[in-house]
Structure 1
Amino acid sequence: MDWLAFLLSGTVLAATPLLIAALGELIAEKSGVLNLSVEGMMALGAAIGFIVVAESGSHWLAILAGGLASAGLAAIFAFVVLVTLGNQVATGIAVGILGVGLAGLIGKPYESMTVPPMARVPLPLLSDIPIIGPGLFNQPLLVYLAPLLAAALWWMFKHSKVGLVIRAVGESPESAHAVGYDVVGIRFLAVVTGGLFAGIAGAFISVASTTLWSDGMIAGRGWIVVALVVFAMWRVERVVIGAYLFGAATIAELLVQSAGIAAPSQLLTSIPYIATIIAIALLSMDGKRIRLNAPVSLGRVYNGAQ
């Protein structure tokens, strides 16, 4: 049953950065901002995280640095779309390309270099459970923290004033402004928080998952994150489920190879993206459901002077 332990371990390890980044994107979209630059933010976080580990040896400092770097990139995006009223789609794509380019530039000297992986933390008693114990409960600490973060955000959106305000700004910014809330400020913080999460996710990939730097390490995961939020219908619990489903699809290539099945490597590598396309296509067949669940002002430019 080693294959099952491998499947469980690989799934949670691959799903963790997707979950963290998707939760950040969910916060931004709940506030009414569509951030399509997640790919670039994750790439920048991965590059900064790898460099910090290579130079300092501290994985947690790398996670923090990657998050802060991407938060800075998110602040640029937020300024353009919220202050100068730039188009969210065009700006998101441009900032995403900027992030990928910066990651490739600063990561060039570290090409093909490896760093020690982030230490695993076995949970007492749970890690000793046969089969599932080694797979689920012998992971880096961030793997355990990600579901807790999701639970905290679920509670925030459901039961806290902060969550209610974010949702109100995303549903009707004019009404939120009318009762005294700073719509632009709230959205700005939401976008920067989303960037912070994306950077942490990217850094986790480079210091805990792959640990071998190569340009293009993120490989489209940022776009999977954006699709995951839509797939989840902007609900935290469905983001969690979707992240682990897509995480399983991500390691399907390794499972097929280990089973000795002959298949083109290009086809195996594309499995998670094929799964994303199929999921979104099926979901899009019910356009009414998407419209009912999406934040009403998502992607719309808000001018407080109007």
Structure 2
Amino acid sequence: MNVIYFIFQQTMYFMIPLMIVALGAMFSERSGIINIALEGIMIMGAFTGILFIHFTGSSMSGQLQLIIAVLISMATGMVFSLFHAYASINMKSNQVISGTALNMFAPAFAIFIARVIQNVQQVQFNNTFRIASVPVLGKVPFFGPLLFQNAYITTYIGIAIFLLSAIVLYKTRFGLRLRSCGEHPQAADSAGINVYHMQYAGVLISGALGGLGGLVFVVPTSTNFNADVAGYGFLALAVLIFGQWKPVNIMLASLFFGLMKAIASAYSGIPFLNAIGIPSYFYKMVPYIITLIVLIFTSRNSQAPKAEGIPYDKGQR
């Protein structure tokens, strides 16, 4: 039973940031804007959040410090995503090229600023955020050790974002308008919807969730940040495609890929896998090989928004 708890908790550490970022990408693409810049947004969000934790570590700790870092990371992601929004919406630039440029800029910027500030590119921080046991809930049989012991508040934030995303997308006027802009912006415009505003909203939401996802990825799995999020921004795009741009499917896809990443990272703590004697690099390759296989079989039946990636020109019909 302890092994089950261990695997599940490790899966949550990888699943939650992946799901958050993929949900962010969903909002952007549902508005009609492809956001390839997720990797760069994650790096920028993680960098500013971890930098805050690093400099306030001597005067602050625990959940309040983490919540403030979360807000900083989300704000950073939104500001950084504005560059992509402006290039894609106002300048009608190629959205893939714009996102790629931001992905190239983000790690270089983070490394440069880190070296200017502290002469080394790694930003160290003290992890004081793990919750050994949530009061009352941590003592509940089975579910207590599974969900409420050795946990992080970011896990519960991620679950809340998933539920909120599903409600906003399918149960609100905003969600309906966002989806209409991604499917047929001309029809949405003729119905009185400001397509540009909705696209900006979609990209900004993806920026906020991307920045948050970067911090959520780093905090439970490391005690330093080196301007790298292990390709999670690109993996989130694979999860988005596998999940067919739908919140529930994205959550299930994130759970699957999170499990694969957990096995790759913590196989030595699983007696059965450790006893097999398979080289470690094999486990590290598995999540990415499975990603390629899944994309091969799911991309043919892709249900992407019809107008995604196509610059909208209000003057054309």
For 1:268-279, what aligned pairs fall within 5 Å after superposition? Answer: 268-279=283-294
The corresponding residue for 1:283 is 298
Q: By how many angstroms is 1:110 displaced?
A: 5.2
Say which is worse superposed, 268-277 or 237-246, in terms of deviation: 268-277
Tell me the equivalent position of 2:309.
Answer: 299
Q: Deviations over 1:1-36 (max 9, x none)?
A: 321111011111211111111111110011111100
Rounded Cα–Cα distance in structure 2 between residues aligned with 1:41 and 1:193:
12
Deviates more, 1:5-14 or 1:106-115: 106-115
The structural deviation recorded for 1:214 is 2.4
Of 149-158 and 242-251, the range deviating more from structure 2: 149-158
Counterparts of 1:153 and 1:95, CA distance in 2: 25
Tell me the distance in 2 between the aligned counterparts of 1:75 and 1:62: 20
- Counterparts of 1:19-168 in structure 2, within 5 Å, are 19-57=19-57, 58-108=65-115, 109=120, 111=122, 113-120=124-131, 122-138=133-149, 139-168=151-180
Shift of 1:234: 0.8
Give the Cα separation in 2 of the matches to 1:256 and 1:179: 54
Separation in 1, partners of 2:72, 2:121 = 17
Deviations 1:143-196 (A, max 9, x none): 112222212221222221111000111111111111221111110121011011
CA distance in 2 between partners of 1:195 and 1:151 (Å): 18
Letter in structure 1 aligned against 2:92: L
Shift of 1:222: 0.5
SS at match of 1:34: coil
2:259 paired with 1:224: no
Q: Give the whole-Å Cα distance in 2 for the aligned partners of 1:117 and 1:203.
A: 14
Q: CA deviation at 1:130?
A: 4.3
Cα distance change, pair 113–153 in 1 and its aligned pair in 2 (3 A): closer
Q: CA 1:174–1:230 in 2, change beyond 3 Å: closer, same or farther?
A: same
Instruction: Determine if contact 2:66/2:129 at 8 Å carries over to the other structure.
Output: yes
1:103 Cα offset (Å)? 2.4
CA contact (8 A) 1:128 1:134 kept: yes
How high is the TM-score relative to the length of structure 2? 0.89
Report the secondary structure of 1:234's partner residue: coil
Q: 293-302 or 151-160, which moves further after superposition?
A: 151-160
Q: Percent identity?
A: 25
Distance (whole Å) between structure 1 residues aligned to residue 145 and residue 110 of structure 2: 34
Matches of 1:152 and 1:60 in 2, distance apart?
A: 18
Q: Which stretches in structure 1 are left out of the alignment for 5+ residues?
A: none
Unaligned runs of 5+ in 2: 58-64
TM-score w.r.t. structure 1 length?
0.92
Indicate the SS of the match to 1:275: helix
- More deviation in 130-139 or 296-305? 130-139
Deviates more, 1:247-256 or 1:228-237: 247-256
In the other structure, the counterpart of 2:258 is 247
Aligned partner of residue 225 in structure 2, secondary structure? coil
Partners of 1:34 and 1:205 lie apart in 2 by 22
Letter in 2 for 1:299: G
Please name the residue that 1:181 is paired with. Answer: 193
